[in-house]
Amino acid sequence: MTSDPILRIAEKVQAGERLSFDDGVALFETRSVALLGHLAHTVRRARHGNVAYYNVNHHLNPTNVCYWDCTFCSFYRKPGQEGAYTYTIEQAIAEVRPYYEAGITEVHIVGGLHPTLKFDYYLDLLRGLKSAFPNVHLKAFTMVELDHFKRITRLSDEEVIERLREAGLDSCPGGGAEIFAEHIREKICRHKCDSQRWLDMARAVHRQGIRSNATMLYGHIESYADRVDHMLRLRDLQDETGGFQCFIPLAFYPEHTELAHLPGPTAVDSLKTIAVSRLMLDNFDHIKAYWVMLGRQTAQMALHFGADDLDGTVSGGGPLVATYSADGRDRCMTTREEVVSLIRDAGFEPVERDTLYQPVVRETTAAMV
Ligand code: V47
């Protein structure tokens, strides 16, 4: 008889009972990784059967200029620094056009916090993209960017969100959450808006009927307890609003960052994190295994550890995606054909979804971005 608490927790999961903070930490500490994976997989199968989702999207990063200096980020440049760039609206539209013509359903838009760009730039960007590509879903701007817009405009949160929505915003990505534990945030992103602000902005977004995602950056200097705390703060907000579509654990990729001395998470750590999130976040429909940060091989395994979504083709990659690509900078994008084959090879039925997790029906299944 083992004293591993996972057996007691397994009984709670089977009985449909909500897991506690201590349960979450115990799951992370378990040595029974296969059993943990099995438990998470059981929950995942009950929700999604044998389906694994993916989407066909493009990541657009309008600027890499940022006035903050998060220690885990190698994307940002200071104004005037070599490599700093900001697209014009025309350049942004021209970048997206070939992917639009190849059939993307979503543009994922995030960038640095630029010190001088006006709010109108972002509104014009959304308007320009929406009018050029009316059928494409614009998943744009993290809670940190929305907070920045509020500060530069002095509008209320609601007004900022409403103006973005009028300009074409359809939903928001989950970035910028990092890790909510204040003592860690102080060390890795001390200038960024604080956890409460991130959560309050997400609440405001949901209250206006806009869906968003939630991420957690793990595998740097945080503890298991910090990860569980992060998940529980999201679970509480999800109880309140129901506005989160998916949870995405983001595997820290240390290269070229100020934290380059850290090893980053192992595959086992990543699989445990996916599994624990599936078990703790009982009110989230989807757990995304973001293959770019996990690497293709671990992402395939993650589908057996609680994840039901591999995210997108990330067509064209993009400068931000390239900085954290576990398979190398030149392999940070894929084709629809490859993502389908990764899912099939892992033993699942691939289903192309749109950003809101509705199945996409195409007239042709020919290879595209
Ligand atoms: O907030 C930055 C992270 C996030 C690194 O909502 C890093 O569907 C690892 O949020 N190593 C942006 N992570 C990406 C993101 C995302 C990605 C895919 C889908 C969705 C979605 C959201 O990337 C940042 C930060 O947490 N990040 N640098 C790094 N070196």
Over 90: is that where the pLDDT of 340 sits? Answer: yes
Query: From ligand 1's centre to the CA of 8, what distance in Å?
Result: 34
Give the residue, out of 144, 246, 250, with the most ligand 1 atoms within 8 A of its beta carbon, to mutate for a pocket test.
250
Query: In whole angstroms, what is the distance from residue 249 CA to residue 239 CA?
Result: 19
277-295 average pLDDT score: 97
As beta bridge partners, residue 278 has: none
Higher-confidence residue: 125 or 364? Answer: 125
Over 70: is that where the pLDDT of 366 sits? Answer: no
Q: Quickly state the pLDDT bin for 219 (edges 50, 70, 90).
A: very high
**50-79 confidence digits (pLDDT tens):** 999 999 999 999 999 999 999 999 999 999
Lookup result for tokens 């440049």: 77
Burial class of 53 by CB neighbour count within 10 A (0 to 12, 13 to 18, 19+) = buried
Residue 61 in contact with residue 320, Cβ under 8 Å? yes
Report pLDDT for 4.
Answer: 81
Q: Are strands 106-109 and 57-60 parallel, antiparallel or unpaired?
A: parallel
Ligand 1 binding pocket includes 140 (Cβ within 6 Å): no
291-295 average pLDDT score: 96
Report pLDDT for 243.
Answer: 98
Distance set, CA 217 to CA 13, 212, 231 (Å): 25, 17, 11
Helical packing angle, 33-48 and 267-280, nearest 10°: 50
Burial class of 165 by CB neighbour count within 10 A (0 to 12, 13 to 18, 19+) = middle
Share of the chain above pLDDT 70, in %: 98
Residue 143 in contact with residue 178, Cβ under 8 Å? no
- Considering only 49-63, 150-164, 208-222, 329-343, which range has the smallest mean pLDDT? 329-343
Q: Are strands 244-251 and 212-218 parallel, antiparallel or unpaired?
A: parallel
229-235 average pLDDT score: 98
Report pLDDT for 365.
Answer: 56
220-234 average pLDDT score: 98
Report pLDDT for 2.
Answer: 54
Query: In whole angstroms, what is the distance from residue 220 CA to residue 264 CA?
Result: 6
Over 50: is that where the pLDDT of 1 sits? Answer: no
Structure tokens at 183: 């003592």
Ligand 1 binding pocket includes 318 (Cβ within 6 Å): no
Q: Are strands 349-352 and 51-55 parallel, antiparallel or unpaired?
A: parallel
Q: Quickly state the pLDDT bin for 369 (edges 50, 70, 90).
A: low
66 annotated to bind ligand = yes
Report pLDDT for 330.
Answer: 87
ipTM above 0.95, yes or no: yes
Query: From ligand 1's centre to the CA of 175, what distance in Å?
Result: 5
Over 60: is that where the pLDDT of 102 sits? Answer: yes
Give the residue, out of 191, 205, 215, 261, with the most ligand 1 atoms within 8 A of its beta carbon, to mutate for a pocket test.
215
For residue 107, the surrounding DSSP H or E stretch is: strand 106-109
As beta bridge partners, residue 214 has: 247
Residue 150 in contact with residue 120, Cβ under 8 Å? no
Burial class of 96 by CB neighbour count within 10 A (0 to 12, 13 to 18, 19+) = buried
Report pLDDT for 3.
Answer: 73
Query: From ligand 1's centre to the CA of 109, what distance in Å?
Result: 12
CB atoms within 10 A of CB 323: 18
Ligand 1 binding pocket includes 247 (Cβ within 6 Å): no
Structure tokens at 60: 């657009």
Over 70: is that where the pLDDT of 163 sits? Answer: yes
Residue 112 in contact with residue 63, Cβ under 8 Å? yes
- The reported pTM is 0.97
Report pLDDT for 227.
Answer: 98
Average pLDDT over the chain reads 96
Lookup result for tokens 């879903």: 137
Structure tokens at 247: 């949870």
Alpha-carbon dihedral of residues 230, 328, 299, 294, nearest 10 degrees? -20
Over 50: is that where the pLDDT of 205 sits? Answer: yes
Query: In whole angstroms, what is the distance from residue 112 CA to residue 63 CA?
Result: 6
Q: Quickly state the pLDDT bin for 363 (edges 50, 70, 90).
A: confident
